[in-house]
Structure 1
């Protein structure tokens, strides 16, 4: 089990390194370039998103950088705590480890963007919709796997009572129970 969890953390750091390396290369060598990837819908068009989040941008909330950093830090801590709780409670499950790796990598890349890039260097434009980056795809992979999990028959996960799991997790957060 420890080896699987270690591999998960190695995957997290690898995904973060890939995403940040791509951004550094684009920023230093291709920031002024534009070209079609899959015309007429997908284009390479680097730009800085200084709105700090999709919600802030779409809803024109004008929430600041500090608030976004705080939200990402708090949510990341909750994700780690829940992942640790889950692996101690039900053991190491490959799909859960993969989902965690993508979600946590996306969160850490988001935090790096806010702290070090003062926004997100987005570079893949879906014409008529939005421009995104690899971090956004990591989070989308997590969401896709979550949806897939709802429709598959993973016997280990099917045995979990979500209400009991959530109650136990809240008890764990409030230090009523330790796992």
Structure 2
């Protein structure tokens, strides 16, 4: 799989590495530590989420690790192919590369968590709500950039029309 932009590839590698190094350090040195970051609101409180996804955890669905791994791998392939499609259709666009780096890094970290950590080592607690990690921040940055791009009427997003699913499907079939 060739990534269109080497800077984007390097960004993905750096983001995934940062997230995994943080988890290794926490797991080896701080797993039993808890302390406030912003007292009353934000805390460092590491815990393993063995439910494999926020959705599975919130609704106690009991979906297995292997289904999560297969679903994650499929999503990574689709994200990669959609990135390739956007580059093919519209050329290399900086905001698309940035969004791709964050969503692909978040997806890769999620897959690594499921395969190698048997869940997610989450470590930032929002008091009374949930505990998250850096991969969740990556995915939320991607979401924020999408929203911002729509609000600012990004040229690329304005070119995407109702035929995107059909055009993307044709693109994938041509690649096969």
Which band: TM-score by shorter chain?
over 0.9
Aligned position for 1:54? 54
Once residues 115 and 3 of structure 2 are traced to their aligned partners in structure 1, the CA distance between those partners, rounded to angstroms, is 31
TM-align CA RMSD: 1.5
Aligned position for 1:86? 86
Cα deviation 1:51-73 (Å, max 9, x = unaligned): 00000000110000000000000
Cα deviation 1:41-87 (Å, max 9, x = unaligned): 10000010000000000011000000000000001000000100110
Once residues 4 and 150 of structure 1 are traced to their aligned partners in structure 2, the CA distance between those partners, rounded to angstroms, is 23
Aligned position for 1:14? 14
Runs of 4+ in structure 1 deviating by more than 3 angstroms, as ranges, are: none
Aligned position for 1:163? 162
Q: Where in structure 2 are there 5+ consecutive unaligned residues?
A: none
Is residue 45–residue 123 contact of structure 2 (8 Å, CA) maintained in 1? yes
The 5 Å alignment of 1:9-158 reads 9-158=9-158
Q: Which moved more, 1:116-125 or 1:161-170?
A: 161-170
Q: What secondary structure, in the 3-state scheme, does the structure 1 residue paired with 2:78 have?
A: helix
Pair 1:155–1:118, CA change in 2 (3 A): same
Once residues 116 and 39 of structure 2 are traced to their aligned partners in structure 1, the CA distance between those partners, rounded to angstroms, is 32
Q: What secondary structure, in the 3-state scheme, does the structure 2 residue paired with 1:63 have?
A: coil
Q: What secondary structure, in the 3-state scheme, does the structure 1 residue paired with 2:92 have?
A: coil
Q: Where in structure 1 are there 5+ consecutive unaligned residues?
A: none
Pair 1:156–1:48, CA change in 2 (3 A): closer
How far does residue 161 in structure 1 lie from its aligned partner after superposition?
A: 3.6
Once residues 39 and 19 of structure 2 are traced to their aligned partners in structure 1, the CA distance between those partners, rounded to angstroms, is 24
Once residues 105 and 76 of structure 1 are traced to their aligned partners in structure 2, the CA distance between those partners, rounded to angstroms, is 9
Once residues 53 and 44 of structure 2 are traced to their aligned partners in structure 1, the CA distance between those partners, rounded to angstroms, is 20
Is residue 76–residue 104 contact of structure 2 (8 Å, CA) maintained in 1? yes
TM-score normalised by the chain length of structure 1:
0.93
Aligned position for 2:5? 5
Once residues 21 and 102 of structure 1 are traced to their aligned partners in structure 2, the CA distance between those partners, rounded to angstroms, is 17
